[in-house]
Amino acid sequence: MQVWFGELKLSAGAVRGPDAGPAGPDQLSINSARVLQPKQLIRATNGSSLDRGNETNVVTFACSREHGSVAAAEVFLLEHVLPAGTATLKLLATGEGAERYMADAAYQGGQHSYKGVRTFHSYTFTGGAFVAQAP
């Protein structure tokens, strides 16, 4: 899986454990929610809901990168700053070629650390619906 935020490839250089398959993000999850309005009819025997849309998605994932030296890992950690504002979040599946886009995604936050020559990163993005075509 490849993950892009605008022109920044977040999964670039990601490494995984020996049994985890190709390089890419670990623990990728997508949490979706839609706004529903309950219909409360007088003396009704069953309730129902109106789907108001307003879909939101929260994407979280983690990855690690191996660098040539401890100094290079420290520099990468200090310089790895995601841009403020919104951009298109692109998820590209490995092998199958499936891709999805979230327009106007915002970087909500994450955690970044290093140990030796390896840096560890987690990211959280929030946005609207995923679409199959690039916006």
- The pLDDT mean for the chain works out to 84
For the chain, the first-to-last Cα distance in angstroms comes to 20
Instruction: Quote the pLDDT of residue 56.
Output: 94
Q: Kindly report the pTM of this predicted structure.
A: 0.79
pLDDT-based confidence at residue 126 (cuts at 50, 70, 90): very high
- The CATH fold assigned to 2-127 is Elongation Factor Tu (Ef-tu); domain 3 (2.40.30)
- Does pLDDT of 2 surpass 50? yes
Quick one: CA dihedral 63, 100, 107, 59, positive or negative? negative
Q: In the predicted model, is pLDDT for residue 99 greater than 50?
A: yes
Residues 6-57 pLDDT 10s: 878 786 555 544 444 445 677 788 999 999 999 888 888 888 899 998 899 9
* CA–CA distance, 116 with 132 (Å, rounded to integer): 39
Q: Are 30 and 59 in contact (CB under 8 A)?
A: yes
The enclosing H or E element of 79 equals helix 70-79
